[in-house]
Amino acid sequence: MTRYSRIIGTGGYLPEEIRTNEQISQTVDTSDSWIFERTGIKSRRIAGPNETASSMAEIAARQAIEAAACDPEDIDLIIVATGTPDRVYPSTGCLLQQRLGIKNCVAFDVQAACSGSIFALSIADQYIKSGAAKKILIVGTEICSRIVDWTDRSTCILFGDGAGAVLLGVSEETGILSTHIHSDGEYEDMLYCPNPQVATEANKDEASYISMRGNEVFKVAVNTLGRIVDETLEANNLEKSDIDWLVPHQANIRIIVATAKKLKMSMDQVVVTLETQGNTSSASVLLAFNEAVRDCRIQRGQVVLLEAFGAGFTWGSALIKY
C-alpha cells in the first residue's frame, strides 16, 4: 500500500503565569498600545522556576497520546524541536522519553529555531513514508523567557513559553501532502542567541540573550514566506482557494496578515494565538494547531497550511489534509 503520515492526536501546554504588556512597561520604556500596534501581542506565558522544556513537553505529549488513544509503547520515534533544551546533552527528546516511560524507541532533538516543528514534521513524514516508523511523537517546546534580556525593549516584548505536540500515525489515506524546508546561514547575525559556554576570545563578554535586528528580519520573513506559499501550492497543483486554514508561526501580526493576503485568505481562516501567547518559537505552530483542533475550527478532511520562519535563517511549510 501507499503509506501516508497522518496526524492522529494533538496536545498543548501553557504555563500559568501571564505577563502582560502593562507589566513589561513598568520596567522598560514602552506601553501596551505601542507593543500591540507593532506586534499584535497583549500578553505571554512565563514558565515557573521548576518548569523545563522537557516537563512542558511531557504535558503536551500526554495530551496528544491520549487524544490518539495510543499506547505509548507503540511510539517508534520522538522528535523534540527546541532552542532552549534542559541540557546541552542528553537531548530533550531523551529526557522526554524517560518522562513518558517509553523504552523501545529512538529520541532526538531538532534545532531550527522557530521553524523547528516544521522541520520535525518533514523528518517524521519521511520516516513514515519509508516504512521506518509507524507512530511518531513530535513536540515543540520552549522557555524563551530565560534567554530574553528583560531590559531590551526590542526583544522582551515578543517572546513567551509553552509546548505543542502532535502524534503522527501511518495511514492509507492522505495526511501530510508535502513538506518544504529551507535554510540560509548568510543571515546568521540578524537573529541569534550566543552560547557563552563555548565563547571565543572575540565574543567572550557577549551575554547569552536573544539578539535581533527586527526590521531586517521582518522584511526577509515576509518575502520568504510569500515564496514558500507559492512553492507549496505549485508542488501540490492547488489553487489558493483550496486551502481551508492557515496556521502560521506566531511571530508578528503584520507578518501573519501579509501571508494571509498572499493566499487571498480572510483572517477568519487564519489561526492566531499571538495576542495571548506571544512568540513561543518552535512551539507556536503546534500550539496554534492544537487549539484550533480542540475548539473544532479545524475539521477532519480540511486542507491546512502550516508555515514558519526562524533564526538561521530557516523556513518551511507543511501542507496537510487533516
Task: Indicate which residues carry an active-site annotation.
Answer: 114, 249, 279
Phi, psi of 170 (to 5 degrees): -80, 140
HSE (CB half, 13 Å, CA atoms) of 22? Answer: 1
**What letter represents residue 253's amino acid?**
I
Task: Write down the H helix ranges in 213-295.
Answer: 214-235, 253-262, 274-277, 284-294
Residues 6+ apart with CB under 8 A from 202: none
- Say if CB 316 and CB 285 are below 8 A apart: no
- Count CB-CB contacts under 10 A for residue 44: 30
For strand 4-13 and strand 211-212, is the pairing parallel, antiparallel, or unpaired?
unpaired
- Please tell me the distance from the alpha carbon of residue 217 to that of residue 180, in angstroms, as a whole number: 20
